[in-house]
Amino acid sequence: QENLDSNNATNTNNKRQLAETSITHKYKQAQITGGLRHSKEQLNNKSVSNTTVLAGGRYKTKSGRVTYRADIEQNFDSNSIEERSPDRQTFGVDLKIRNGMSIFAEHELTDNNTVKTQSSRIGVSQSLWTGAKGKSTYTRERTDQRQRDYATLGLSQRIQVSKYLSADISIDHAKTIKGTQSRFNQDEAIPQGALRDDYTAFAIGMGSHIKDWSWTGRFEIREGHLTDKVNLRLGLIHRPKNDRE
């Protein structure tokens, strides 16, 4: 799987381009993934590059109702200490309650050599009607300086255009419930990955699947309390016949 991602902050002129490649292998109920991500960013008139190693695993019980997962992102090459992409470890479990409904819980640790965070998150997703899904999460995020509780709510609609082509539209909203988005020292540089934003996002996507190959495209406009963003993401997936579910 390969992804290309472009992210522009419209009110700060910050820009980010990202390329990612990964390979996934499935064996019975287990799945392992390894990959590499490289990003180039223009932040506050400063050029920043980061290279990150990706690794992850999934295990689904025989009943198919419970999935255990773990993901690791390890930054090993950065030309900036302040804007270094954070190392990240995420551990979670997904549980299917009934057809169309599932819940999940996860714990995430991040460290970019400047700020460490711990985030505990729970969520629920529910199929609503044909092609439609609703999702809601609640997260408690803690650093040495602050604690923030925030919630997200999303709705997506998938449309099958033809046998090989599909489209989807979505709207997502994130809101701080408790705590603050501000830092104690407003003159201090904001390390990458250390600050969350309240936002409303609108997105449209397209995807196609032909034999062993799939491609995806997604365009998103995000209106945030702190930063507005425009995101474009392209993906290409090759799935060998012996690795299909």
DSSP for 188-223, please give it. S---TTS----EEEEEEEEEEEETTEEEEEEEEEEE
Instruction: Give the per-residue pLDDT at 189.
Output: 40
Instruction: Give the per-residue pLDDT at 227.
Output: 82
Predicted TM-score (pTM) of the model is 0.78
Instruction: Give the per-residue pLDDT at 137.
Output: 96
Round the CA-based radius of gyration of the chain to a whole number and report it.
19
Instruction: Give the per-residue pLDDT at 76.
Output: 79
Instruction: Give the per-residue pLDDT at 238.
Output: 83
Rounded to whole angstroms, how far apart are CA atoms 82 and 192? 7
Instruction: Give the per-residue pLDDT at 239.
Output: 79
Give the pLDDT of the chain (245 residues) as one tens digit per residue.
777 777 766 666 677 888 989 999 999 999 999 999 988 877 667 777 888 999 999 999 998 899 999 999 998 776 555 456 788 999 999 999 988 899 999 999 998 777 888 999 999 999 999 999 999 999 998 887 778 899 999 999 999 999 889 999 999 999 999 876 554 334 334 444 445 678 999 999 999 988 888 999 999 999 988 888 889 999 988 877 655 44
Q: How far apart are the first and last CA of the chain?
A: 16
Q: How far is CA 18 from the centre of its chain?
A: 13
Rounded to whole angstroms, how far apart are CA atoms 123 and 108? 14
Instruction: Give the per-residue pLDDT at 79.
Output: 55
Instruction: Give the per-residue pLDDT at 170.
Output: 96
Rounded to whole angstroms, how far apart are CA atoms 65 and 102? 9
